[in-house]
Amino acid sequence: MELISVKAALGGAIPSGTKVEVRGWVRTRRDSKAGISFVNVHDGSSQDPVQVVAPSTLPNYQDGVLKLTAGASVIARGTLVQSQGKGQAMEIQADEVQVIGLVDDPDHYPITPKQHSLEFLREQAHLRVRTNTFGAVARVRHHAAQAIHRFFHEEGFFWVNTPIITASDAEGAGQMFRVSTLDLSNLPRTEAGKIDFSKDFFGKEAYLTVSGQLNVEAYCLALSKVYTFGPTFRAENSNTTRHLAEFWMIEPEIAFADLNDDANLAERFLKYVFKATLNERMDDLKFFEERVQKGVIERLEKFVNSPFERLDYGAAIEILKRSGKKFEFAPEWGKDLQTEHERYLTEEHVGRPVVVMNYPEGIKAFYMRMNDDGKTVAAMDVLAPGIGEIIGGSQREERLDLLDARLRKMGLDPAHYGWYRDLRRYGSVPHAGFGLGFERLIVYLCGLQNIRDAIPYPRVPGWAQF
């Protein structure tokens, strides 16, 4: 008797006639008066369930097998055989179906074999992973994460675990969650009446990180090729299909590199991860193709096989102006590209991924490197058909005087950036990197509409259940 996964049972590598055991959860049960029941069992290892054929001669047929409903857990032992029915190659002719856990209230069990709305399933986050859709998302998510680590490892990058808690209020990438052990109902005060954070856990104000970039830059200027991949927090009151309060971000950083190196890295990176997902999870992608978004596989295949177009921001604005398209927001030099602009560029004008480079300094962060024209910075966005911006990155300002000038121009005090400025004083080198929201990548891979379906337990304003 060999314990096997459902995936292995269906995989064809195990010869017919082998005695096997599978463990999992019931998806459906169909009874035949010929004296058998068909129980579809899934264990998460594959998109498809295995069909367990349970004869009515089993001792627990009446008060066991016939009590099975969607969601019940079982251990089935029997012979793996070629199926007599259509719809599956292999099935398990059961000698024993052990009922492990029944569903208490089958009439209220929320996961039925019909299509549920994704909104409803979000409120059942602990059970939604039992559905085809969320099982598939979970598997794709795992394979994408593995592919990301594998890509960087193979290219000689080191994974750096930057801090989750930060006492620096200088990251400037958005609203932060405060971390404190102070008693909110009895706050210590200074003589001036302000909250006395010197009494707080870290002796000063602390927050959850909004980006590991600044920290990983330091490691870049020693290890040369590094990346972060970890949880990230934004306390913005964003209620959209693209924002989470807690998400996972990937941020590579490369030394002795400029913006072109950065764009090349982004292109290799995305293609590697997409290719790996196509290779490793085609079963789930086919499900998304059928049930979630038509064309998602072709979109990925085209992405993998198309060279990225490079486009200067200024040229992009000109293209948009001359497009003859009616945009809700008129394109104008000095303003950021709207989603409608990005979609036009990548979907209609070029028809494949585009890297837009060298944006006006006024709309980009302080750490981005000033170009020689004095008007633009070495920033880039990778735009993908069907979604728009998927990666944002830049070459970092490695010249101390220019960094200080830019900080001051943006109303920031260079004194607050002591250790970050040190990196420009001690063996500074040109370096570059980019940031990618992992869940946005998952949305794109799976053809989802809402980022809340791309993470197991989404956290958004007003919602932190489970």
Partner RNA sequence: UCCUCGAUAGCUCAGUCGGUAGAGCGGCGGACUGUUAAUCCGUAGGUCCUUGGUUCGAGCCCAAGUCGAGGAGCCA
Applying CB under 7 A, does 69 fall inside the site for RNA? yes
Residue 392 or 414 having the CB closest to RNA: 392
Binding segment for RNA (CB under 7 A), chosen from 88-96, 194-202, 262-270, 421-429, is 88-96
Residue 67 or 310 having the CB closest to RNA: 67
Number of helices and strands (H, E) in the chain?
A: 12, 17
Footprint (CB under 7 A) of RNA, residues 92-111 = 93, 106-110
Applying CB under 7 A, does 243 fall inside the site for RNA? yes
In this structure, what token pair is assigned to residue 392? 């944002």
Count how many residues are written for the chain: 466
Position among 435, 442, 445, 447 found at the interface with RNA (CB under 7 A): 435
Nearest to 235 by CA among 192, 171, 295: 171
Please, what is the angle between helix 282-291 and helix 296-305, to 10°? 130
Applying CB under 7 A, does 112 fall inside the site for RNA? yes
In this structure, what token pair is assigned to residue 121? 């399933």
Residue 28 or 98 having the CB closest to RNA: 28
Residue 97 or 200 having the CB closest to RNA: 97
Binding segment for RNA (CB under 7 A), chosen from 4-12, 16-24, 409-417, 432-440, is 432-440
- In contact, 75 and 23? CB cutoff 8 Å: yes
Cα separation, 249 vs 230, in Å, equals 6
Report in angstroms how near the CB of residue 202 gets to RNA at its nearest: 25
Position among 217, 361, 389, 398 found at the interface with RNA (CB under 7 A): 389
Cα separation, 429 vs 395, in Å, equals 11
Footprint (CB under 7 A) of RNA, residues 321-350 = 329, 336, 338-340
Residue 84 or 186 having the CB closest to RNA: 84
Applying CB under 7 A, does 440 fall inside the site for RNA? yes
Footprint (CB under 7 A) of RNA, residues 167-196 = 173-174
Applying CB under 7 A, does 116 fall inside the site for RNA? yes
Neighbours of 462 (CB within 10 A): 8
Report in angstroms how near the CB of residue 427 gets to RNA at its nearest: 27
Residue 128 or 431 having the CB closest to RNA: 128
In this structure, what token pair is assigned to residue 8? 């292995």
Applying CB under 7 A, does 139 fall inside the site for RNA? no
First to last CA, the chain: 38
Can you name the residues that pair with 78 across neighbouring β-strands? Answer: 20, 94
Footprint (CB under 7 A) of RNA, residues 13-42 = 28, 30-34, 36, 38
Applying CB under 7 A, does 286 fall inside the site for RNA? no
Cα separation, 4 vs 187, in Å, equals 58
Residue 337 or 423 having the CB closest to RNA: 337
- In contact, 229 and 148? CB cutoff 8 Å: yes
Applying CB under 7 A, does 439 fall inside the site for RNA? yes
Cα separation, 238 vs 462, in Å, equals 11
Cα separation, 39 vs 107, in Å, equals 18
